[in-house]
Amino acid sequence: KKSSLSEVKVAVLGAPGVGKTALSVRYLTRRYIGEYDHNSETRYKHEVLVDNDPILYEILDTCPKDYNDLPGNDTIHWADGLLLVYSICDRNSFSFLKKVGALISDNDIPIYIVANKNDMSHLREVNAEEGAILARSLECGFAEVAAAEQVAPVAVVFQELCRTVLASRRK
């Protein structure tokens, strides 16, 4: 067994207000606060267990100014993996991710797409099938979750992305 701690760096990308902070905080603390004070990028570093292996999980919670503020190359090159987040009740946030997808499709980087705010299905603007189609085109995993209500399904998303990053290193 390896003695050194594997480090996994994930950038969380998505339009303003989709729940990037809520998801990151939910995963790292299991808690949901509801309102998050963030006007700038935040970096979290926590030791977590993935498949019983300790991982130093670094999460860059990005903070785009608006729907045209796509992630820069510095962010994408920094990351080992990308978590792409949209809100099921915000069609524009899905369009934002399609643009991000086009931007990163040449980078051979592990990705996971998460559709957040699944608890708000009465305000749904994006069907699950649309998310699944985008995930197929980017050859990545996809899940609909609600950071507001769920703990385990949110953790699964981060763990799955971590597994993909570790697997890509072994190649």
| Binding residues for ligand GDP (CB under 6 A) | 14, 16-22, 34-36, 116-117, 119-120, 146-148
Distance CA 126, CA 134 (A): 12
| Closest distance of CB 16 from ligand GDP, Å | 5
Nearest-approach distance from CB 90 to ligand GDP, in angstroms: 10
| CB 72, CB 3: distance < 8 Å | no
Our separate counts of H helices and E strands in the chain read: 5, 6
In whole angstroms, how close is the CB of 68 to ligand GDP at the nearest point? Answer: 15
CA-closest candidate to residue 82, choices 126, 1, 132, 20: 20
**Of residues 141 and 153, the one with the C-beta less far from ligand GDP:** 153
| Per-position DSSP letters for 137-148, written without gaps between them | HTT-EEEE--TT
CB 162 to ligand GDP: min, Å = 20
User: Closer CB to ligand GDP, residue 89 or residue 166?
Assistant: 89
Minimum CB separation from ligand GDP for residue 132, in Å?
A: 19
In this chain, which residue has its C-beta nearest to ligand GDP? 19
DSSP secondary structure code for residue 169 in this structure: H
**Closer by beta carbon to ligand GDP, 67 or else 141:** 67
Q: Which is nearer to ligand GDP, 116 or 159 (CB)?
A: 116
Span between the terminal Cα atoms of the chain, in Å: 19
- What are 47's strand-pairing partners? 56
Q: Which is nearer to ligand GDP, 20 or 163 (CB)?
A: 20
